[in-house]
Amino acid sequence: MSRVVVAGSFNVDHVWHCAALPRPGETLAGEYSTGPGGKGFNQAVASALAGADTTFVCALGDDDGGRLARRLAAAHGIDLRAQDSEAATGTAGIYVDDDGANSIVIGPGANAALSPDFVAAQGEAIAAADVVLAQLESPLDAIVEALRRARAHGAHTVLNPAPANAPCSRELLAVAEVLTPNETEFAGLLARHCGGDIEPGTLARMDEEHLHRLCRTLLPRGTVVLTLGAAGCFVSHREDSLHGDESPHYRCPAAKADVVDTTGAGDAFNGALAASLARGAALPFATHVRYATRYAALSTERAGAAASMPRADEVASRFPDA
């Protein structure tokens, strides 16, 4: 059985669909909806629906949002390990335009309470995991604890360094076997840790050898999967650790999709990548990346974050060779 542990955030999303994203000082009319989100929960749902036995470690308030998280985790077969917090369950305000682009503001709430001690108390689940996946919407020391314990027990560790403005220490990068930044996150990490000054919009067009060198500078001992939106993604391995691939670096094209809403697409990618790695560690890494790319593409054809995640059979139907 493939096992994934996701350590991260749960938010109640408040979403407004409008013709264009609001500019400073502008008031727009839009259609409102609400539902579950948070990078951690989105990725846990994607992992579970992609076929992995999934545990989600988080912090929740004693409120309607926390009760929603518990109901939905049970409905998806997710083993929820929630630290109780006096703060309200996390929230997010999301604006989505007619092209599917989005802007997001997060209120951390209970997510900020997740502690290293609570993560350590989930040691049995982490020790049994094939993959441990984390993001940066939770306290840094709790995420370090989750990935450090995972590495100690031989699990694959995947760090999605999102959102871009969140702190990400060298200590955390050191326990990440696979790093999955988008363009903005990658440029920010280079600036903070390597003194680089890269314009995010140039990365998709950059020469592969140059991009590979940047990845090796940022994460010398691990694999970087740089997601590039419509341009797909770029994979960079350490030269002596190719994870079954034939080349230390390559591009993987994006799958075609009729985009409705890109909210949660990165989370779909990460959850599906973790699930695929957990169930087929002996397969070439490129196989897992291709599956995650297709899973994420299918998620953009539906509105919402966690609610947009497809089931494994839907991916197989849409992409028969996935």
Lowest-pLDDT choice from 6-15, 130-139, 158-167, 258-267: 258-267
Q: What is the tens place of the pLDDT at every residue in 181-215?
A: 999 999 999 999 998 789 999 999 999 999 999 99
SS3 133: strand
130 is a domain residue = yes
**Span 219-230, mean pLDDT?**
96
Domain range spanning residue 108?
A: 3-177+255-318
* 255 assigned to a ligand binding site: no
Is the model's pLDDT at 322 over the cut of 80?
A: no
* 232 assigned to a ligand binding site: yes
Q: What is the tens place of the pLDDT at every residue in 135-188?
A: 999 999 999 999 999 999 999 999 999 999 899 999 999 999 999 999 999 999
**pLDDT for 109:** 97
- Residue 158: DSSP 8-state: E
**Span 234-248, mean pLDDT?**
96
Is the model's pLDDT at 311 over the cut of 80?
A: yes
* 65 assigned to a ligand binding site: no
Give the count of domains, the chain. Answer: 1
Burial class (CB in 10 A: 0-12, 13-18, 19+), 61: buried
215 is a domain residue = no
123 is a domain residue = yes
CATH number at residue 140: 3.40.1190.20
220 is a domain residue = no
**pLDDT for 306:** 87
Closest-CA residue to 42 (of 274, 315, 293, 287):
274
CA distances from 235 to 256, 277, 310 (A): 19, 15, 24
* 229 assigned to a ligand binding site: yes
Nearest-angstrom CA–CA distance, 19 and 28: 9
300 is a domain residue = yes
Q: Which of 245, 267, 313, 321 is catalytic?
A: 267
- Residue 299: DSSP 8-state: H
**Span 221-238, mean pLDDT?**
96
237 is a domain residue = no
292 is a domain residue = yes
* 66 assigned to a ligand binding site: no
**Residue 97 bears catalytic tag:** no
* Structure token pair of residue 38: 């948070």
202 is a domain residue = no
